[in-house]
Chains A and B, each alone.
Chain A
Amino acid sequence: MTARQRRMVLVGVVLLAVGGAVGFALKAFQDNLQYFYSPSDVSAGKAPADRLFRVGGMVTEGSFKRPSGSLEAHFVLTDYASNVTVSYTGVLPDLFREGQGVICRGKLGANGVFVAEEVLAKHDENYMPPDVAETLKKQHANNGSAAPVPGTSSATPGLTNGPTAGPTT
């Protein structure tokens, strides 16, 4: 073999390997994409029945229930248009509390309850899942509803909500 032929063989092998890897990666990509839905989408039946997906919203005040001594929690996620009931068994993240924005990953159960495998709360007390913020903006533009307006709190990051030491203006 000449140097040129050998190089061609090398290039061929590399191309085959890269092609195979890309093919496999794209296949795995399809299987592992997790779509994000809002509670409105879930209520409207847009979410898939037998696939993992993520749903994000605010935890409704007063909706959190957990039997004493048990790890199984139930709460309601809302985007101020629709609600989804979520059940989760396990340790909740530190920043999980009512009125807080969270994202849950899991599957929709037969009874319409979303069974979460994982609950994520952002490490920022002003955090609102982007979808909820959008829904709220739309609603606010339409009818000036009572829901909190996104963006107003994040425009002045931090300084408005230090409970003991917020600098006064």
Chain B
Amino acid sequence: MSREAILERVRTALGRKPGDVPTGPPPVYLSQTGRTTEQRIAAFTVALESLAGRAVRCSSPAVARATVNAMIAGKHAIASLSSYLHELQIAAEVPDAAVYREACAAADVGITSADYALADTGTLVLFSDAEESRLVSLLPPRHIAVVPVSRLIDSLDDLLGRVPLPADATSSMVFITGPSRTADIEQILVRGVHGPGDVTVVLVDD
């Protein structure tokens, strides 16, 4: 069987025996920044807007509801099953599980929340679970994420410090850093090639 053949070749190449345990790997290297909430919001906004994404801050859930509803007025918008969005009472349809893909593919706007947002890089972190799906933030040409400020953390290092084993929580953790883009033809930047070309993050004070 190929499995045994490959492992056997690896062990021969390294002079190891089955069951040999390594002496520990180099210690984990995670940096810390320690920003204040306001600094995080400022950093997140700068990072996301430098990528042509948009960050909007709302002072309360009620303001957020009005802001998002205005953004999607007259458009075919769908929302994920996020309980946070549900509480906000966003005026978007939640697609039925049986036609989920088709609904996502037909929508103009996909609305999600996020499990975390990373200030350093302007990144959204989405865990796929019973509340968030993979396709709502991917198929529609426009993505709006509504995220409470308390979920905004410093950086990737900060995230992996808090969530050392993402696979325990989800089969799919995705980082989204700005709109989909390509520069494959003559290095000319074009947004929205396969994913959303327009990403807006609504940060809500809790």
Do these two chains really belong together in a complex? no
Q: B: which residues have CB within 8 A of A? A: none
